[in-house]
Amino acid sequence: MTGRRGPVMSPGMARLLVIAGLLAVWEIGARLYADPLFLCPPSQALVALQDIFADPKIVRAIEITIYEVVVAFVVSVSVGMAIGLVVGLQGFTKRAILPVILLLYAIPQATILPLFILSFGIGPAAKIAFGVSHGIFPVIVTTVAGVQNLRPTLLTAARSMGANRWQVFTSIIFPHMIPSFFTGMRLGMTLVLLGVLLAELYVSTAGIGFYTRLFAESFAPPDLFALISVLAAIAVTLNELCRTAERHFSRWHAN
């Protein structure tokens, strides 16, 4: 219980300092000890970033990956939410179908990756399908959980005041679902990225996963780290978008 006033530095500043410190340790460590075939200092990765954006093939690869992720994400969220609502809004379907969905969720998708490749080929279709197979389940499960959080009193109150189904959905069910809906979207986004990249790493002729593998196998760590940082930036941006939307739509929930 010391320092009620708190430290002088804002947490955001301190966070930046921590990141800068880690980068400095990496830079010094890599310069002094690392084998340049395996690890490079972050400054070299920064330089390699320019080469990467100068190469139209790699820019195209980044576009392909973003395209695959976006399509897979949109499909996962829309289909997943529809399934979640259908399953979650009724007690019986929830108890009967949800265990089946959880069972499917538990399947390690990586083991069926060869099947996706066999069925959809080595192009983007397989990556999108595999991304959806990852992303759809958290959306379903969190939608069901969100519907579950609904307090029955609210529903009864709304009905007794004469709300119709649509009004109940827009003013009670939907606002209540928002926090878990966005949690689901965030989880879904993470998993869609994972699925798409996993499929690209496994077999592909384009996309970030393909080049990551190529750079690793040709012992070019600066390019590899540059590409990973591009993807990390994309992932963090997408995540922050989801978080901002989540905060915006769940303001009413705060009090």
Partner 1 sequence: MKKSSRLPQHLVQLGILLAVLLAWYWATLPGGINHLLLPPPIPVFEGFWVLFTTDSIWPDLLVTVREWVSAVVIASVSGCVLGYIISRSNYAVRVFDPLLAGLYSIPAILLFPLYLLFFGLGPGSKIAIGTTIAFFPIVLNTIAGLAYVDKAYVTAARSMGASDLQLFWSVMLPAAFPVVLTGLRIGCIVAFLSILGGETISSLAGLGHRIVSLAENMESSRMFSNILFAVLMAIVINGIVSFAEARGRRGMQ
Q: Which residues bind partner 1 (CB under 8 A)?
A: 6-7, 11, 14-15, 18-19, 37-39, 92, 95-97, 99-100, 103, 106-115, 117-119, 186, 189-190, 193-194, 197-198, 201-202, 208-209, 212-213, 215-217, 219, 221, 224, 228, 231-232, 235-236, 238-240
Cα–Cα distance, 200 to 226 (Å, whole number): 18
Which CB sits closer to partner 1, 158 or 194?
194
Q: What are phi and psi of 218, to 5 degrees?
A: -100, 15
For residues 126 and 72, the answer to whether their CB atoms sit within 8 Å is no
Which CB sits closer to partner 1, 109 or 143?
109
Which CB sits closer to partner 1, 29 or 114?
114
Cα–Cα distance, 156 to 88 (Å, whole number): 18
For residues 87 and 142, the answer to whether their CB atoms sit within 8 Å is no
**For every residue of 95-122, which 3-state class applies, written as one string?**
HHHHHHHHHHHCCCHHHHHHHHHHHHCC
Sign of CA dihedral 20, 21, 22, 26: positive
Which CB sits closer to partner 1, 66 or 110?
110
Minimal distance, residue 227 CB to partner 1, in Å: 8
Minimal distance, residue 155 CB to partner 1, in Å: 21
Which CB sits closer to partner 1, 172 or 206?
206
Minimal distance, residue 208 CB to partner 1, in Å: 8
Q: C-alpha angle with apex 238: 234 to 239, nearest 5 degrees?
A: 115
Minimal distance, residue 168 CB to partner 1, in Å: 25
Tokens standing for 73? 């994400």
Minimal distance, residue 113 CB to partner 1, in Å: 6
Terminal C-alpha separation, the chain:
26
Minimal distance, residue 38 CB to partner 1, in Å: 5
Cα–Cα distance, 173 to 166 (Å, whole number): 10
Which CB sits closer to partner 1, 55 or 240?
240
Minimal distance, residue 254 CB to partner 1, in Å: 14
Q: Which residues, at least 6 apart from 253, have a Cβ–Cβ distance to it below 8 Å?
A: 175, 178, 179
CB atoms near residue 49 (< 10 Å): 17
Which CB sits closer to partner 1, 8 or 161?
8
Short-list 195, 19, 12, CA closest to 108: 195
